[in-house]
Structure 1
Amino acid sequence: MSSFLYRLGRAAARARVLVLALWVAVLALTGGAALVFNHGTDDTFAIPGSESQDALDHLGRVFPEVSGTSAQLVLVVPSGAAADTPRIRTAVAQAVTKIGKLDQVATVVNPFDASVHGAVSGDGRAALIAVPLKVQLAAVDPATRTRLAAIAEDLGTEAGAKVYTGGDAFSDRVPKLSPTEGIGLVIALLVLVLMFRSLIAAVMPLVTAVLGVGVAVGLIYLATLIAPISSTAPMLAVMIGLAVGIDYALFLLSRHRDQLADGLDVEESIARATATAGSAVIFAGLTVVIALLGLSVAGIPFLTTMGIAAAVAVALAVGIAVTLVPALMSFAGKRLTPRVRKPRRKPRRRPQIARWWVRTATKAPLVTVLVVVAGLAICAIPATSLRLALPDNGTEAQGSPARDTYEVVGEHFGPGYNGPLIVTADIITSTDPVGLVNKIADEIRRLPGVASVPLATPNPKGDTGIIQVVPTTAPDSAQTDDLVSRLRGQEQHFLDVHGTRTAVTGITAVGIDVSAKLGNALLPFGILVVGLSLILLAMVFRSIWVPIKATAGYLLSVAAAFGATSFVFVQGHLAGVLNVTHTGSVISFLPIILMGVLFGLAMDYEVFLVSRMREDFVQHGDPRRAIESGFVSASRVVVAAAVIMFAVFAAFVPDGSATIKPIAFSLAIGVFVDAFIVRMTLVPAVLALLGRRAWGLPPKLDRMLPVFDAEGDALAHELRLAEWPAPGSAEAVSAAALRLEDDRGRPAYTDIDLHLPAGEVLVLHGVGACGKTALLYTLAGRVTKFTGDLKVLGRVLPQHTHALRRDVAVVPCRDTTDPARQIADALAGDAALVVVDDIDLVLRTDVRDQVRALLAERRSCSAGTATFVVTCQDPERIRDLMPARATHLHVLTAAQPVEVS
């Protein structure tokens, strides 16, 4: 990975004009296409397979009048007056007639009809005109809303009353960007200026992040051509894309400027920064993308598309970080080099906050661990009351028609009228459909939690009955959930007594089902995220305890964020300060979004901070020194990244929509807790407690796990060996201090030093049969878990083992019946290196003659003279096979270095 990124960074720096032009063209193309072709967002929250959704779909076919969205007109007279007067009845009847003639109106309910119950409030001051529409919310024509509002205004004038126009048809749940969100970018700019002390360096991450977000939003709106996408998806992509885009560019710029300060050439520094910091960026981005795509485990389409949209934004941020950022750094050239301050005559000692902080955290590590864990556990207590629900008109902006109508309905009729339930009944076999529906309605009226049953009627065909049930409580309350469960619990009773199947549906029931399914998905999603973090971090840090500690810290951060969110948005504390106008519940998909996004960000900080500690430990072997040194060198960048991330998320809280506000708040709290309390306080303390035990994997597990070089160690190794053993060397194999251990830690071979010129033959033999075979396969690129320096055919191993294997042929004489044919095929296939194991097992005279001729010729079609490495037990048995003047005989033992004979 690091080698590929090294070449990519250098290529981007050299082709900076082309890279910049391509990204600008992509932005223009996606943005223009999205403006022209997008179909708009769709906030229909559906959950296929649930009882409520199936029943709603069925109603759409048999009773379309009640399956679409709806509008409400609420007439309210002054205190002391009555709504039920002849003048008002006449005005309402005229308004109902006008409404019924509108194109998208399915029907309209006159509150004063004899068959209608509960449409006049108990205090007599309000009358509710229900207007079911034929279409869903996304398909409501703006002209329909305009005409309904005009009719309502005329009704108010004629009746001498105030008429509110609202309902779901008037809701506006599309989140919009406001100037407040720009505060986050301003704070990010200030942090970057203070950190870099360079306006060019400070502006660069903002430019690249905004470009990436622009491309992501364009792609999301283009995707509306093929799939419904909620309005929350692009807003979530903007929020997450800005945050990670700034952070990823910050990591590369920070590493590049440090290298420039050390005197490295601009192009070389760009390549190395892309390889090292870029590896960490790809790792962090990969974890976020996987976690976001993991939202699909809930099996809810709108959540899956939301996760994909946010993952696209993160993937674009990663792509821009490793391509456009190097190009822009190349444009800036030496101007990004940090200024060297002139020394003062009397240098003033300034306290190093980072060093003081880490020493304080590790002075009594057990105390630090206990205090942090106990404190975060206390902060997580409010999470036990976290309540999930889908947004309704009660979450609309204050002063909007939908919100005003919602509040008026709740005030005069009761909170349940804002979220009525619908019970459907299959009455196709009934001889008295009206009577059957009325019997079921009477039984439902007697159930606890039912405020009224204003409507009970069969459809025009007489095969399906609907019963509208108004709860006594608000749509997002726990008591309404209980009523839905109670109604569903009566389904068997209705089947046994009345012979009819029933189902509970309606927007409120669908929301309850969505919330329940999302709640049930948290555990499998959490297992996925935790398991993923353990594996990925074990790959990066080659440790058992570091992943366990990192995952435990992540869970603490999530719990604390849940607790803070419930404290404000459910319990209502500090709601006024944060401009929270609706409390009691949060958007259903907040927990799973928080877990997914925070996972990636937490792993980002973990990698950047702990990798510096591991690097120092590998070099010096002192765990306490490694904690302090790594913390001091990395904390400045981590603090800046966390402050920027916090600012971007927090900027969406003051004027954010009711959907985005709690998500942004929870992410801001989660980032703050994870970065400053978990990563920068708890992590050093835990590592100090573990000491040397923190660093290391069992040998068997170490060999099983692939290596993810997020710290650039492989690149550093490759750059160190670039001119080794000498510039322009013609050696086919160069090795120094090679060592390999078996599963029990016993050496298979040790201290191997050899230099084999191209076209020569190397013979390995000695007392270690397993050792010689292991060394042979190491030189062939088939064994990668060795230590030492190795270069084969000009490629540094183990970094380039996959590329090497195309040019190396392995002939195991013990397992083949015709080794001569295999050697000949290898030479004909342009193999530059042929390794032959146990060549002394070739006993047949004709086969030995063929092998002798092939070794003497050693010609491959286009690679010139091939190089051979062979093993044997007894070199005397193969002297007749070896070329007279081209043989290097090496005696190999398991505990001694190679000797040349």
Structure 2
Amino acid sequence: MSATAQVPPETGSRVAPATGRLARLARLLVARRRLTLLLVGLVAVVAAVAGGGVEGMLSSGGYTPQSAESVAADRLLAQRFHAGAPDLILVAGAPGGVSQTAARQAGLALTEQAGRTRGVVYARSYWSTGDPTLRSRDGRTALVLVKLAGNEDAAYHRAHDLAPVLGGRHGPLDVGITGLSQVNSEAEDQSSKDLTRAEVLAAPLTLLILLAAFGSLPAALLPVLVGLAAVLATYAMLAGLAQVTSVSVFALNITTALGFGLAVDYSLFLISRYREELAAGRDVTEAIAAALRTAGRTVLFSALTVALSMAALLVFPLYFLRSLAYAGVLVVLLAAMAALVVLPPMLAVIGHRIDRWDVFAPIRRRLPGARGPEQGVWHRTAMVVMRRPVAVGGVVAVVLVALALPFLQARFALMDDRVLPRHSDAQVAANVVRDQFREAQTSPDVVVLPDLDAAAQRGSLAAYARRLSLVPHTVRVDCAAGGFTAGRRVAGAAAGYLAPRGKGTWLSVLSDVDPSSAAGERHARDVRAVSAPAPGPVLVGGAAATQVDTKDVLADRLPWAGGVIAASMLVLLFLFSGSVVIPVKQLALNMLSLTASFGAMVYVFQDGRLKWLVGDFVSTGRLEVTVPILMFCVAFGLSMDYSVFLLSRIREEYLATGDTTRAVAVGLERTGRLITAAALVVATVLGALATSQLSILKLLGAGLALAVVVDATLVRGLLVPALMRLLGRHNWWAPGPLRRLHRKVGLTDS
């Protein structure tokens, strides 16, 4: 990379013109700046219109693999038996008791109204079935269970329409609604409100950070404008993506924050380099060309690394993660494109006025210290660290590993109503169900025998049900052969367990454990273990089985995701640096930068300690199972993002001097302030998600913000200089064949 930026302007030397494809692109954009800005404006307007209704196009759910056995069981229950776990649970309260005549009549009418609604598979209640488990212990509340047709997304949309009709007052009944579909519906509404709050909070804070970093108002405003352009493009991109695949509603919050933060970061680095090139004696056009030739190349490479890290989510067969992969890859590339295409013509229009209106100039004039690359705070920090690399690096590494230790106690579960705020309707109703209806069969394990002729094999079915009733923590098994408890038949055959037409039957296996707990998972596995002597092929479903299947799939695919990230980063960093040592070292450092976040996940969000730092939420003692994976891929990409910017300046200085120690100190001095500002911007934008009322977004926002801050300070400021000093010239080592390969295919701008 060029080292021309280090020529002081007072020498009067002519600076050679920047060369390469990016430099030529910069000159073209500058020459056609009015046309380019006009086209950008038109595209922004079109994007705003196209993405205006994106919130209504997104989907809720997608946290379970659709190929899982449990999902197939639930699908068969709904289609063939008109059964299965309810999607909506109506919690109807009557102060005078649910058995009174008026309450009974209202309850029956409510059940019939729900049952005859289009898209409802079944609706049954205490009043229609007489099931005592659907009445509370105090007799003042009863449940109506509603199963909706279609997949998770269709059920969610149906619930969104039904809730206003079925909830509220029905004669003497006051009806609240909960259930997975209602939770998804309320989560979508809340995420929309949270997105607005996060945007309002992040934009002015970002501008203040940029003002502190640049001093100049124009230099601070330009990245914000580029970031807003990236957000508009993100909205349009999500709207288009939603036309071809299901896209999670949370993609809007996450990708908007990611796109805005990265676009601002990339612009920050380009503007900083542009100012350096102006100070080195270049004119405006050549300064822009040189900035794109150097920092622009790094922006492209950085965007590629973040995009590949996000692409690793594609290995997981959950559309929540896959849609975030599609959206994440596109938004990262959009952010880079916005910075590289929108910024050059803006800089050309502003020219030398980039440094006007320096609002922090009076403060800086009072601060001691010089401005040279060897006299700043980051240079001095690097030199102090490199004098004692073992001590400093060892202490920091031990601290980071210690912060990660709580993650060894992590427990995982699927999202439920407690992701919502405490006062949400779905959580209030769900708390009533948990407290008053412990025996209600709202989420039993189910065993489907799709090919069994229950009438002809009733004896085999009864024997199988007896074996299931002996599984530890099983309270009761109900099927077409009767009800069984502890191996004994306690009730006659019940209706509804046979297929209306043809073969097939199912069994309800009620347990006394929470289906989202470890005990619930063990119970589901134990039920499946009994399937071997079953009178035919079986499918085991239910909430606990779904959680088991989801966790098993994620655990099975996790090594593949890690392999994709590791392989792509190793290859790209080799192509960027020509070294085989630096890629391995950066992978290790990136892992360390995530440790504090993963420890905080457990300490704060699982165990509920210090949760006042991020606002109130319901601590369930478990983490949503997909969040650590999502956080790992996003945070790993962002960590590599800052690694690339620091490494590019270190390598540039090393190629000019051959002195690793000087290269590290100067590289850190030239990028330390920028990386800190960039990290603060991204931490602010992502941290704004922590103000969300949804605990899943709160966890993601707080965890990612912490990871970015740790990476930009402890890792880049202390561990990188320590390791670079210890390895010395070996940092740049590669075997002869790979050195020759790098000379042929290494990443350059020419």
Bin of the TM-score, shorter chain as denominator length: 0.7 to 0.9
Given the alignment, which residue of 600, 604, 610 partners 2:647? 610
Q: Give the SS at the match of 2:57.
A: coil
- Between the two proteins, what is the percent identity of the paired residues? 27
Partner of 2:411: 387
Q: Who is 1:24 aligned against? A: 41
After superposition, the C-alpha distances for 1:822-861 in whole angstroms (9 at most, x for unaligned) are: xxxxxxxxxxxxxxxxxxxxxxxxxxxxxxxxxxxxxxxx
For 1:17-166, list aligned pairs within 5 A: 17-35=34-52, 40-45=57-62, 46-63=64-81, 65-66=82-83, 70-76=87-93, 83-84=98-99, 88-112=103-127, 116=131, 118-122=133-137, 124-135=139-150, 136-140=154-158, 142-150=160-168, 153-155=169-171, 157=172, 162-166=174-178
1:684 equivalent among 697, 701, 721: 721
| Equivalent residue pairs, number | 700
Does the CA-based 8 Å contact 1:421-1:470 persist in structure 2?
yes
Query: Using the alignment, how far apart are the partners of 1:423 and 1:566 within structure 2?
Result: 34
Q: Which residue of 2 aligns with 1:893?
A: none
1:222 aligns with 2:234: no
Question: Aligned match of 2:226 in 208, 232, 243?
Answer: 208
Matched, 1:168 2:210: no
- Corresponding residue SS for 2:20: helix
State the distance in 1 between where 2:423 and 2:651 align: 56
Who is 1:274 aligned against? 292
Alignment of 1:390-539 (within 5 A): 390-414=414-438, 419-426=443-450, 428-431=452-455, 443-450=467-474, 457-461=497-501, 463-493=503-533, 495=534, 499-506=535-542, 509-539=545-575
More helix by share: 2
Distance 1:218-1:438 versus aligned 2 partners, 3 A rule: farther
Give the Cα–Cα distance (whole angstroms) in 2 for the partners of residues 373 and 342 of structure 1. Answer: 39
Map residues 439-838 of structure 1 onto 2, 5 A cutoff. Answer: 443-450=467-474, 457-461=497-501, 463-493=503-533, 495=534, 499-506=535-542, 509-583=545-619, 584-705=621-742, 799=750
1:518 maps to amino acid: L
Distance (whole Å) between structure 2 residues aligned to residue 639 and residue 473 of structure 1: 48
1:439-481 CA distances to partner (integer Å, 9 max, x unpaired)? 6555444433345557862232263333344443444322222
Letter matched to residue 249 of structure 2 = S
* 1:367 matches 2:407: no
In 2, the alpha carbon distance for the partners of 1:384 and 1:613 equals: 36
What TM-score, normalized by structure 2, do the two folds share?
0.86
Counterpart CA distance in 1 for 2:87 and 2:281 is 69
Name the residue aligned to 1:336: 354
Any unmatched runs of 5+ in structure 2?
2-18, 480-493
Q: Give the structure with the larger strand fraction.
A: 1
How far does the alpha carbon of each residue in 1:842-899 deviate from its partner, in whole angstroms, 9 at most, with x for none?
xxxxxxxxxxxxxxxxxxxxxxxxxxxxxxxxxxxxxxxxxxxxxxxxxxxxxxxxxx
The question of 1:288 aligning with 2:288 is answered: no
Deviation at 1:9, TM superposition (A): 1.1
SS in 1 for 2:447: strand
Q: 1:700/1:25 Cα in 2 relative to 1: closer, same or farther (>3 Å)?
A: same
Structure 2 residue aligned with 1:11: 28
Aligned to 2:488: none
Q: CA deviation at 1:316?
A: 0.6
Give the 3-state SS of the residue equivalent to 2:690 in structure 1: coil
SS where residue 239 of structure 1 aligns? helix
More off after superposition, 290-299 vs 264-273 = 290-299
SS at 1:10's partner residue? Answer: helix
User: What is the Cα deviation at residue 173 of structure 1?
Assistant: 2.2
Range that drifts further, 236-245 or 106-115: 106-115
CA displacement at 1:232 relative to structure 2: 1.8
User: Which secondary structure does the structure 2 equivalent of 1:613 belong to?
Assistant: helix
Q: 1:58: Cα distance to partner?
A: 2.9
Normalized against structure 1, the TM-score is what?
0.72
Q: Quote the Cα distance in structure 2 between the aligned partners of 1:708 and 1:277.
A: 20
Task: Check whether the contact 1:108–1:129 (CA below 8 A) recurs between aligned residues.
Answer: yes
TM-superposed CA distance for 1:99, in Å, is 3.1
Distance in 1 (CA, whole Å) between partners of 2:430 and 2:646 is: 50
| Alpha-carbon contact 1:426-1:501 (below 8 Å) kept | yes
Which of 240, 250, 266 pairs up with 2:268? 250
CA distance in structure 1 between the partners assigned to 2:731 and 2:625 by the alignment: 38
Which one-letter code corresponds to 1:20 in the other structure?
L
Distance verdict in 2 for CA 1:91–1:337, change over 3 Å: closer
Report how far residue 114 of structure 1 moved.
6.0
Deviations 1:594-647 (A, max 9, x none): 222222222221122133223223322332222222211221111111111111
Which residue pairs with 2:487 in the alignment? none
The answer (yes or no) to whether the contact 1:433–1:465 under 8 Å persists in 2 is no
Which has the bigger relative contact order, CA under 8 A and spacing at least 6? 2
Helix, strand or coil for the counterpart of 2:246?
Answer: coil
> Does the C-alpha gap of structure 1 residues 619 and 577 become closer, same or farther in structure 2, counting only changes over 3 Å?
closer
Partner SS, residue 145 of structure 2:
strand
In structure 2, do the counterparts of structure 1 residues 59 and 315 end up closer, same or farther at CA, with 3 Å as the change threshold? same
Checking the alignment, whether the CA contact within 8 Å between 2:261 and 2:685 is kept in structure 1 is yes
**3-state SS in 1 of match to 2:123:** coil
**How many angstroms apart in 1 are the aligned matches of 2:693 and 2:278?**
41
Structure 2 counterpart of 1:259: 277
Cα displacement (A) at 1:368: 1.2
Distance 2:284 2:475 in 1: 74
Classify the secondary structure of the residue corresponding to 1:43: coil
Partner of 1:107, secondary structure, is strand
Instruction: Report Cα offsets for 1:315-335 as digits up to 9, x if no partner.
Output: 111111111111111121111
SS in 1 for 2:125: coil
Cα gap change, 1:544/1:345 in structure 2, threshold over 3 Å: closer, same or farther?
closer
Confirm or deny: 8 A CA contact 2:230 2:338 kept in the other structure.
yes
Q: What is the aligned partner in structure 2 of residue 238 from structure 1?
A: 256
What is the rounded CA distance, in whole Å, between the counterparts of 1:345 and 1:598 in structure 2? 37
Q: Determine which structure has more spread, i.e. the larger CA radius of gyration.
A: 1
> Per the alignment, do residues 84 and 39 of structure 1 end up closer, same or farther by CA in structure 2, a change over 3 Å counting?
closer
Q: 1:580 to 1:421 in 2, by over 3 A?
A: farther
Q: Given the superposition, is the C-alpha separation of residues 384 and 90 from structure 1 closer, same or farther in structure 2, using an over 3 Å criterion? A: same
After TM superposition, give the deviation of residue 314 of structure 1 in Å. Answer: 0.5
Partners of 1:433 and 1:111 lie apart in 2 by 32
Separation of aligned partners in 1, 2:400 and 2:255: 29
Q: Is the 8 A contact 2:207 2:221 kept in 1?
A: yes
The answer to whether the 8 A contact 1:549-1:683 is kept is no
Match of residue 212 from structure 2: 194
Task: Give per-residue Cα distances to partners, 1:662-702, cap 9 Å, x unaligned.
Answer: 22222112111211111111010111111222223222211
CA distance in 1, matches of 2:304, 2:295: 14
**Partner amino acid, structure 2, of 1:413:** F
Q: State whether residues 83 and 126 of structure 1, in contact with CA within 8 Å, keep that contact through their aligned partners in structure 2.
A: yes
CA shift, 1:91, in A, is 4.1
Structure 1 unmatched runs, 5+: 716-798, 800-901
RMSD: 3.1
- Judged with a 3 Å threshold, the aligned counterparts in structure 2 of structure 1 residues 449 and 272 are, in CA distance, closer, same or farther, namely farther
Q: Distance in 2 between matches of 1:650 and 1:211?
A: 21
Other structure's SS at 2:133 match: coil
Aligned to 2:13: none
**Deviates further, 546-555 or 271-280:** 546-555
Residues 855-874 of structure 1 correspond to what in structure 2 (within 5 A)?
Answer: none
Identify if the C-alpha distance between structure 1 residues 400 and 589 changes in structure 2 by more than 3 Å, giving closer, same or farther.
Answer: same
Following TM superposition, by how much is the alpha carbon of 1:516 offset from its aligned partner in structure 2, in angstroms? 2.7
Code of the aligned partner of 1:310: G
Task: Show CA shifts across 1:106-132 (max 9, x none).
Answer: 322232566736223455554222122
CA change 1:661–1:335 in 2 (3 A) is same
